[in-house]
Amino acid sequence: MSKQEAPPKENGLLNIVFNIVLPVLILNKLSKFIGPFWALVLALAFPLGYGAYDLIKRKKFNAFSALGLLNVLLTGGLALLGLHGFWFAVKEAAFPALVGLFVLGSAFTKKPFIETLFLNPALMKVDLLEERLKEKGKQKEFHDHMKSATVWLSLSFAFSAICNFVLARKIFINIDSTLSADAQSTVLNEQIAQMTTWSMAIIMVPSMIFLLGIFWYLMRGIKQHSGLSTEELLKEN
């Protein structure tokens, strides 16, 4: 019966590609060829389409699609309105801040986000973990640990939001309004590309270190409450 439920499982990589990567690439690279309006429409189609597909297949609302839509609407909307400089810095900070709030909110639910992120039945023996926790009577302590790890994860997004804002204020300077619409669009695309490049080095690397630290903290708690090592918990195939 559990095998029947395997196909609808969420694919984390496709989630990121369709909801974040492709829309951003479309807005950055295609605006000058098809215009900012049609680039926005095309970029919106990916998180909208993926979210609808995921809802039909998994019968579950996809929060990443909603966040992807919001990110595209903010980026494309600002470009269409001709806003830049400070407002793009706010937008760059708003996205990780919203994700962080979503993650933080999940810490106070029955299933903190960290469980969805790391405790994937396709990768880990979740049934074995639950069995051991029940045997030891550690379900509540384990849930509290998941809650704590999720709060730490939300703080990593808060860190990204602050770094994004500071970096964006340096990169997104006001564009000369006397330039033609095409020239302004080109300058804005160059700023977005520069932001993407620098954020990978300045923000992504510390965030990955933060994430690895959270994973270590998570696995240490799992071993403490269930007695299972990482090797025992991970599936071979």
- Clarify whether residues 108 and 28 are in a common domain: no
pLDDT on residue 11: 60
d(C-alpha 83, C-alpha 177), whole Å? 10
Whether residue 50 contacts residue 18, with contact meaning beta carbons closer than 8 Å, is answered with yes
- Are 156 and 185 contained in the same domain? yes
pLDDT band of residue 12 (cuts 50, 70, 90) is low
Average pLDDT over residues 194-207: 77
Shared domain for 91 and 203, answered yes or no, is yes
The pLDDT of residue 68 is above 70 = yes
- Predicted local confidence at residue 3, as pLDDT: 46
Task: For residues 97 and 193, state if they share a domain.
Answer: yes
Question: What's at 232, amino acid-wise?
Answer: E
**CA neighbours closer than 13 Å in the CB half-sphere of residue 94:** 14
What's the average model confidence in pLDDT over 55-71?
A: 73
- Grade residue 63 by pLDDT with cuts at 50, 70 and 90: low
> Do 219 and 146 share a structural domain?
yes
pLDDT at position 179: 81
Kindly state the percentage of the chain with pLDDT values over 90.
Answer: 8
Residues 74 and 177 placed together within one structural domain of the fold: no
Residue 148 pLDDT greater than 70, yes or no: yes
Residues 139 and 224 in one domain: yes
Return the pLDDT at 2. Answer: 44
Q: How confident is the model at residue 7 (pLDDT cuts 50, 70, 90)?
A: very low
Q: What is the mean pLDDT of residues 173-189?
A: 78
| Tens of pLDDT, residues 78-96 | 777 777 778 888 888 887 8
Average pLDDT over residues 138-151: 90
Of 131 and 199, the one with more pLDDT:
131
Backbone angles phi, psi at 59, to 5 degrees: 55, 40
Tell me the two tokens of residue 227.
Answer: 């007695």
132 and 206 housed in the same domain: yes
- Nearest partner of 93 among 171, 28, 32, 13, judged by Cα: 171
**Is the pLDDT score of 237 beyond 60?**
no
Residues 107 and 46 occupy one common structural domain: no
How far apart (Å, rounded) are the C-alpha atoms in residues 115 and 46? 26
Residue 8's pLDDT band (boundaries 50, 70, 90)? low
> Are 64 and 109 in the same domain?
no
Neighbours of 230 (CB within 10 A): 13
Question: Where residue 74 falls among pLDDT bands split at 50, 70, 90?
Answer: confident
Cα first-last separation, the chain: 19
What integer pLDDT is reported at residue 10 of this predicted model? 60
Domain of residue 42, residue span: 1-81
Same domain for 188 and 230:
yes
pTM for the whole structure: 0.67
Q: Both 123 and 208 in a single domain?
A: yes
